[in-house]
Amino acid sequence: MRSAGAISGRQAGPDAGYHEGCGHTSLSFDDLVDTLKRAGLRMTENRRAILRALLAARAPLGLDEIREHSAHHGGMPDFATVFRTMEQLEALRLVQRVHLGRPSSHFELLDPRSHHDHLVCVQCGRVVPLVDKCPVEQMERDLARRHGFTEIRHSLEFFGKCPECSGSATRKREEGGK
């Protein structure tokens, strides 16, 4: 049974369901600030707080979550500020939109040195970053060659049920205990 309350409750914890060390960017706070300044954006306290919230995130965040997390990093951005800032960061290719099969978009920092796709549990919302290998890297190169496109990018999400939600984790434990 799918319940919205359970999903948001699970996401509220900073470590809920996310593998340690995955999905982290090699960009530093200073890298991000430099890029924004070069693009002519003013570095307000709210923008700094939003960047810090994104850097600390261990999974893609929704706009509400970005706003909430920014409060822990010395900012109080309203919804419109978060929305506009994410659009600007996306245009600068510092952030990518990730579609987790929920009504609203989620965002994460885009690491130019380590792209990854996502495996998403449709029941509990757990997100597993796929850091080993991108399955469509070769296809991207072929598309560029065949259609003459440059700067091709993609965001790829696989959906399914995690072991906990499908019950296979419990079954395995029970079988192992026998």
> Which residues are near Zn ion by CB under 5 A?
117, 121, 123-124, 126, 134, 156, 162, 165
Query: What minimum distance in Å lies between the beta carbon of 122 and Zn ion?
Result: 8
> Minimum distance between the CB of residue 56 and Zn ion, rounded to whole angstroms?
23
Q: Please, are residues 154 and 144 in contact by the beta-carbon 8 Å criterion?
A: no
Burial class (CB in 10 A: 0-12, 13-18, 19+), 153: exposed
Helix (H) or strand (E) holding 56: helix 45-56
Smallest gap from Cβ 18 to Zn ion, in A, equals 12
Query: Minimum distance between the CB of residue 2 and Zn ion, rounded to whole angstroms?
Result: 10
The SS3 of residue 134 is: coil
- Contacts by 90-95 with C-beta closer than 8 Å and gap 24+? 92/35, 92/36, 92/39, 93/153, 94/27, 94/32, 94/35, 94/36, 95/54
Q: For Zn ion, give the closer residue by CB, 82 or 120.
A: 120
| Residue 100 CB, nearest approach to Zn ion (Å) | 12
Residue type, 56: A
Q: Which is nearer to Zn ion, 10 or 73 (CB)?
A: 10
Q: In terms of CB distance, is 17 or 55 closer to Zn ion?
A: 17
Judged by beta carbon, residue 73 or residue 161, the one nearer Zn ion is 161
- DSSP H or E run through 96: strand 95-98
User: Residue 24 or 47: which CB sits closer to Zn ion?
Assistant: 24
